């Protein structure tokens, strides 16, 4: 839909508690009285429509917290009346791109199953930033849409088709391995997915020019996680459509790289399965093979994410990239450590840690490093196989999962693993309830800084 010209839009003025008095002095006396009558104090998320002398609304004052760039407009965008708006001025020290993106994130609606759509308010985007903001918005919405889609309408093959559709937009090649070929070449992915009538697959997307540096992306694509024979309780299973969130992040990052023409070539590997209960389900005490040749004793079928991801990581290593990044909704322990909003990451290169943290801070998408504690390798010991998939202790759950994955990454390849939650338990400013992108902007900004300098 074309954007209304700036001159036709209602002006939005961001006002903080410290700038309210100065803003008030610029208003007409009757407008100052209007503010006082409505007790407008510029609290974050508070807004007030300002009438002009003719009684028409041509400006809105929006209260905001100068330390919260995404929520400045994101808090009010779903509440404003339908119409066309523009940001009249960018407050000192604020990132205009992130302000505009925050508006979009607050506007998100998952309306696939709604009988009537909500048109809502629209924001005029300045031409210089329009492509960047829309690209980030579409990537975020892709993550949210894929996570929010019920598993009835998102099978492993449907996820593969979403990858094909995205790849076609940008001239990428997509290959899908399933059936007997998957069983032979990716035995861990097959073992987890064989309990479902909707067969598992390995999705590979390739893009870029040969002369550019090669990176690899990997994503956990567990379409739905019942826990397998270690069955989850109903309350824990309710949101397990989000367990493919890692694959949604990998695909959205791939889209950003392609759409914004980052000078890299990449291969993306998504392990797409359902962890279901049937007579074919893999069992606790089973010993399964992996693509790398290691054997894994299954002590908990609900620790399936690391099992499918290990085959994808091994395939990534075979491409000999200069960097591997994976996303996975892997452990509840990560949420216990850092809560739902800040995903931890692990890396085998200390110099990558500070760079990714800084990129997260710069993009208002915080991530935080956790250590790969070598001494905890003892928790992966198995008496019958090369390793176990789930430690006998509940201690250091996120670290133990990352250590498991590290065994499938060549030591000479830099690697970053993000353990994301991918979900908002309730609606907040710029974060509506449901699927959420976490670490996406941080990683993309990290890649931009690494490869566009």
Task: Let me know if 241 is a catalytic residue.
Answer: no
CA distance 92 to 238: 44
DSSP 79-92: TSPSEEEEE--PPT
Find the catalytic residue in 232, 236, 265, 428: 232
Cα→Cα distances 75→41, 108, 163, 263, Å: 16, 12, 32, 35
Which has the closest alpha carbon to 166: 132, 130, 207? 207
Task: Let me know if 280 is a catalytic residue.
Answer: no
Find the catalytic residue in 97, 306, 407, 441: 306
Report CA torsion sign: 317, 206, 438, 12.
positive
Residues 6+ apart with CB under 8 A from 72: 14, 44, 62, 64, 65, 94, 99, 102
Q: Is 396 left (phi over 0), alpha (psi -120 to 50) or beta?
A: left
Determine the longest span between alpha carbons in the chain, in angstroms.
Answer: 82
Alpha helices in 319-386 (DSSP H): 332-338, 350-362
Q: Is 320 left (phi over 0), alpha (psi -120 to 50) or beta?
A: left
Cα→Cα distances 317→160, 313, 314, 403, Å: 21, 6, 5, 16
Query: What is the rounded radius of gyration, in angstroms, for the C-alpha atoms of the chain?
Result: 24
Q: Which residues are catalytic?
A: 232, 306
């Amino acid at each position: 839909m074309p954007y209304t010209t700036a001159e036709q839009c209602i002006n939005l003025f961001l006002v903080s508690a410290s700038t309210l008095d100065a803003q008030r002095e610029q208003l007409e006396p009757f407008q100052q009285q209007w503010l006082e009558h409505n007790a407008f104090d510029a609290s974050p998320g508070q807004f007030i429509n300002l009438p002009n002398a003719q009684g028409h609304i041509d400006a809105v004052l929006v209260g905001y917290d100068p330390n919260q760039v995404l929520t400045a407009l994101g808090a009010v965008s779903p509440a404003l009346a339908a119409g066309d708006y523009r940001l009249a001025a960018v407050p000192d020290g604020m990132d205009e791109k992130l302000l505009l993106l925050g508006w979009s994130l607050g506007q998100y609606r998952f309306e696939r199953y709604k009988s009537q759509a909500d048109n809502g308010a629209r924001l005029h985007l300045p031409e210089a930033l329009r492509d960047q903001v829309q690209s980030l918005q579409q990537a975020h919405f892709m993550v949210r849409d894929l996570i929010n889609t019920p598993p009835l309408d998102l099978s492993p093959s449907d996820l593969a088709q979403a990858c094909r559709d995205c790849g076609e937009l940008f001239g990428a090649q997509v290959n899908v391995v399933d059936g007997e070929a998957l069983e032979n070449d990716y035995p861990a992915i097959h073992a987890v997915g064989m309990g479902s009538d909707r067969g598992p697959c390995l999705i590979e997307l390739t893009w870029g020019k040969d002369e550019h540096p090669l990176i690899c992306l990997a994503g956990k694509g567990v379409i739905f996680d019942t826990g397998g024979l270690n069955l989850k309780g109903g309350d824990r299973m309710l949101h397990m459509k989000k367990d493919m969130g890692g694959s949604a992040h990998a695909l959205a990052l791939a889209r950003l790289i392609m759409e914004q023409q980052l000078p890299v070539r990449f291969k993306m590997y998504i392990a797409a399965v359902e962890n279901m209960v049937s007579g074919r389900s893999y069992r606790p005490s089973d010993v399964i093979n992996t693509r790398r040749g290691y054997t894994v004793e299954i002590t908990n079928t609900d620790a399936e994410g690391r099992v499918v991801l290990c085959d994808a990581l091994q395939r990534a290593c075979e491409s000999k990239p200069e960097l591997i990044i994976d996303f996975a909704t892997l452990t509840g322990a990560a949420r216990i450590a850092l809560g739902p909003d800040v995903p931890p990451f692990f890396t085998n290169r200390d110099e990558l840690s500070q760079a990714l943290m800084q990129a997260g801070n710069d993009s208002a998408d915080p991530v935080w490093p956790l250590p790969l504690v070598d001494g905890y390798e003892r928790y992966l010991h198995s008496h019958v196989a090369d390793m176990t998939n789930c430690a006998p202790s509940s201690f250091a759950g996120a670290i133990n999962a990352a250590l498991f994955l590290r065994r499938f990454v060549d030591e000479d390849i830099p690697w970053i693993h993000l353990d994301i939650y991918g979900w908002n338990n309730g609606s907040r400013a710029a974060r509506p309830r449901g699927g959420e992108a976490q670490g996406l902007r941080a990683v993309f900004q990290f890649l931009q800084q690494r490869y566009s300098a």
